[in-house]
Structure 1
Amino acid sequence: MSEKFDFCAHGRKVLEIEIAALQQISQYINGCFTQACELILSSHGKVIVMGMGKSGHIGNKIAATLASTGTPSFFVHPGEASHGDLGMIEKGDVVLAISNSGEASEILSLLPVIKRLGIPLISVTGKPESSMAKFSQVHLQITVAAEACPLNLAPTSSTTATLAMGDALAIALMEARGFTANDFALSHPGGALGRKLLLCIADVMHTGDLLPIIDEAATIKDALLEVSRKGLGMTAVVNSEQQLTGIFTDGDLRRLLDKRVDIHNTAIGDVMGRNPSTIEANVLAAEGLKLMEDNKINGLLITENGQLVGALNMHDLLKAGVM
């Protein structure tokens, strides 16, 4: 190679071609798209996604996206379907078959059986005159001008267009179902996403003997001992009726030491921070994190009906995987 190959220029060209393909398929979000959504919404079963080769890989992702956004779905390999996996499909289901050419023989061989079972077919192809398109109740077109492959052979623009059409279908159905963040969390209980959407303040807060709390008549020294024992970098301060009146933190201590305050004789009620930030126990932990970030604080006190019930700090949320 006499000159240095410009990888970036070729990479950008691929993106330009695929962006143009996506802009082109927006015209196919039309009446057929509406019919496909209505057909799936009216069904009482699952969406069975099929595809061969690269279309199969895209189909797997579409099925996963549908399932995670409120539309029960899974992928069935067409080659395996003709050897027994067709038994996974039952009345009430909808088949979503993907093939850019619309002539995938492994899928075409299954269509008579699917029709005999009375299962509706939605096809996704780049050829509206193809066998699959003609056989289906609804056809979603994903025709692109060219593949990003310079040989116009490797599925690139067409698979990107198919994936985008699948996302459009899944999200349109999600919104039509009124699928909420809580619904999403129930299907994503694992990992950071599930923790952010499911974990509540009550799940991570310190309570009982682990809750740092001291009377406002106690000295600063007593407060320091409580902060040290409980390890949260702060303590709640209450009055004689056990009502929350303030908070004392490590930061407050540093500021007091600069002023040379007598920690042995000064009451904590004289130096505590008043009107501390509080949150309720049933609120999402992620909201507690936002409250701390917005107020630039490292700890929160938790109240219920005006009564102090718990405390937590930024480290608790970090350990729980919320941040």
Structure 2
Amino acid sequence: MGLRQVDTYSPQQTAVLESVSRTMSATVDGVNALAARFQADKAFARSFVDAVSLIGERRGRVVVSGVGKSGHIGRKIAATMASTGTSAYFVHPTEASHGDLGMVTSDDVLILLSWSGETVELGPMLAYAKRFNVAVVSITSNAESLLARNSDAAITLPKVQEACPHGLAPTTSALLQLAVGDALAIALLERRGFSAQDFKTFHPGGKLGAQLLLAQELAHVGEAVPLLPLGSKMGDAVIQMSAKGFGVVGICDAEGKLAGVITDGDLRRHMSKELLLQTVDAVMSHHPRVIRGNLLASAAMEMMQAQKVTVLFLVDENGTACGILHIHDLLRAGVI
């Protein structure tokens, strides 16, 4: 990755920029090497298939462990799996050796991370797994290591150059471990058919939770919905629009289906002395923009922005109006 000089820097600032550029290049090269091996090495690709099969077929949980930077990456992998439908947790090897191995059963799968594959602290966990028939998935760079040779599925990463100039601090290698963990988590998500609604169950709070709300959870229903039947006078429509406060009124046919809408814009376009004496049929727009209640709130926001509207009516499978959603409802809930 070449450094593009866009301004005048001091020698110290230039050194910083060059360092950042080298690190980015090293990480990109590492990920590219990982992707290339996956495409070219059938045995390597098969190790992912085996790992996902092991985890997906076991009735227990995924127990992730590692030491140092591998441990930090392991915590993230466990958290990602847990939030995407795969029951998982992290156990530190030292704690495992002092009693926490009692939480691991033969229905579980161990994911052990070690770049060298010879991390001493993982030895007791590996021995326990062999003794009690616990499946082991390893993520390492050494196919001949003790860890890889004793794994049911060994994902052997390509040896890559660390971004650290001394080749000591785990940087690029940690990124590859993380990429593999994410790949496993997403493959398991898709294997299980984990849906956006399932995702919402595990992420009820914050901005992400707001994005996963359904339109019907934020919509106004019942008497709050401004509706009139076909044949109503425009005077009644204006009263409804003012009383309900949405700047719109829905017009329904005899079966309750939404046949059209009248907005503030329609009033301006048809403004005349006779407007209030006309029927809603003559003024309404005949192709109202509607959504179903089970649409994600984030999708409703995208639709509003794309169509430059601030209000959408909700309809059921029969086309019957059952609610109304205003952009302010979405903004208040934190949907952006």
TM-score of Structure 1 vs Structure 2, range by shorter chain: 0.7 to 0.9
Structure 2 contact 110–136 (Cα < 8 Å) conserved: yes
* 1:132-170 Cα deviation digits (max 9, x unpaired): 223333322124232100111111011011111112222
Range moving further from structure 2, 263-272 or 75-84: 263-272
The reply on whether 1:201 has 2:215 as its aligned counterpart is: yes
- Map 1:1-323 onto structure 2 (within 5 A): 3-6=11-14, 7-26=16-35, 27=37, 29-197=44-212, 199-238=213-252, 244-257=258-271, 260-304=272-316, 305-323=318-336
CA contact (8 A) 1:25 1:144 kept: no
The letter for the 2-side match of 1:250 is D
Distance 1:296 1:12, change over 3 A: same
The verdict on how the C-alpha distance between 1:20 and 1:244 changes in structure 2, with shifts beyond 3 A counting, is closer
Deviations 1:10-37 (A, max 9, x none): 2121111111112223326333333222
CA 1:203–1:55 in structure 2 vs 1: closer, same or farther (change >3 Å)?
Answer: same
Change (3 A) 1:99 1:242: closer
C-alpha deviation, 1:248, in angstroms: 1.5
1:303–1:8 distance in 2 versus 1, CA, 3 Å: same
Please give the secondary structure, in 2, of the residue aligned with 1:5. Answer: helix
So what's the TM-score if we normalise by structure 2? 0.84
CA contact under 8 A between 2:160 and 2:173: conserved in structure 1? no
CA distance in 2, matches of 1:32, 1:207: 52
Deviates more, 1:43-52 or 1:115-124: 115-124
Alpha carbons 1:124, 1:141 under 8 Å: kept:
yes
C-alpha offsets along residues 165-210 of structure 1, whole Å, 9 cap, x if unaligned?
112222233333333333333333333334433x333322222221
Aligned CA distance change for structure 1 residues 306 and 131 (closer, same or farther; 3 Å): closer
Alpha-carbon offset, residue 215 of structure 1: 4.7
Q: Which amino acid aligns with 1:317?
A: L
Give the C-alpha shift of residue 60 in structure 1: 0.7
Instruction: Look up the equivalent residue of 1:214 and give its one-letter code.
Output: L
Question: Helix, strand or coil: the match of 2:309?
Answer: coil
Give yes or no for contact 1:128–1:141 (8 Å, CA) kept in 2: yes
Q: Structure 2: how far apart are the matches of 1:241 and 1:170?
A: 48
Segment of structure 1 superposing worse, 93-102 or 304-313: 304-313
**1:239 deviation in Å?**
5.7
Q: Tell me, which stretches of 5 or more residues in structure 2 are unaligned? A: 1-9, 39-43
| Equivalenced residues, count | 320
Deviation at residue 321 of structure 1 after TM alignment: 3.3
Classify the secondary structure of the residue corresponding to 1:209. Answer: helix
Q: Go from structure 1 to structure 2 and tell me whether the alpha carbon gap of 1:204 and 1:145 turns closer, same or farther (over 3 Å shift).
A: closer
- State the SS of the aligned residue for 1:112: helix
Q: Distance in 2 between matches of 1:132 and 1:89?
A: 18
Distance in 2 (alpha carbons) for counterparts of 1:127 and 1:114: 20
The answer to whether the Cα contact below 8 Å between 2:257 and 2:321 also exists between their aligned partners in 1 is: yes
Q: Are the structure 2 counterparts of residues 242 and 47 from structure 1 closer, same or farther at C-alpha, using a change threshold of 3 Å?
A: closer
The percent of aligned pairs where both chains have the same amino acid is 40
Give the secondary-structure state (helix, strand or coil) at the position aligned to 1:25: helix
Which shows bigger deviation, 277-286 or 165-174? Answer: 277-286
